[in-house]
Homo-oligomer: A and B are copies of this chain.
Amino acid sequence: MTFSPTLFDSVETPALLIDRAQMMRNISMMAEFAVKAEVALRPHFKTSKMIEVARLQLQAGAIGFTCATMAEAEALLAAGINDVFWANAPASAQKARFAAEANHTARLAVGIDSVELAAVLSQAAVAADSTIPVILEIDTGLARTGVLAAAADDVAAEIAALPGILLDGVYMHEGQLASLKGTRDEIVAAGTGAASSLVAVAEQLRASGHTISVVSVGSTPGWESAPRVAGVTEARAGTYVFFDANQFRLGSALSAQCAITVLSTVVSVPAADRRVIDAGIKAMSSDRSNRGDTLGLVTAPEGALADDIVFERAYEEHGILNGTGIDELGFGSRVRIIPNHACGVVNMFSRVHVVEGSDVVDIWNPVGRH
Contacts and interface: CB of A to CB of B under 8 A. Distances in A.
Contact of A114 (B144, B265, B269, B285): B269
A291 interface: no
A270 B146 contact: yes
Task: Report whether over half of chain A's contact residues are helix, strand or loop; otherwise say mixed.
Answer: loop
Interface string A230-245: 0000000000000000
A92 B265 contact: yes
A88 interface: yes
Contact of A286 (B69, B268, B278, B286): B286
A244 to B, nearest CB: 13
A370 B350 contact: yes
Contacts of A350: 369-370
B331 A116 contact: yes
Number of copies: 2
Contacts of A139: 270
B331 A12 contact: no
Contact of A144 (B88, B113, B315): B315
Interface in A162-212: 175
Nearest to A113: B268
Contact of A332 (B91, B276, B344): B91
Interface string A276-288: 1010011101111
Given A88-B317, A116-B332, A316-B68, A282 B14 contact: no
B344 A316 contact: yes
Interface of A: 12-16, 46, 68-70, 88-89, 91-92, 94-95, 113-114, 116-117, 120, 139, 143-147, 175, 265-271, 274, 276, 278, 281-283, 285-288, 315-318, 320, 331-332, 343-344, 347-350, 369-370
| Nearest 8 CB-CB pairings of A with B | A91-B267, A89-B267, A116-B331, A145-B268, A286-B286, A68-B317, A349-B370, A286-B287
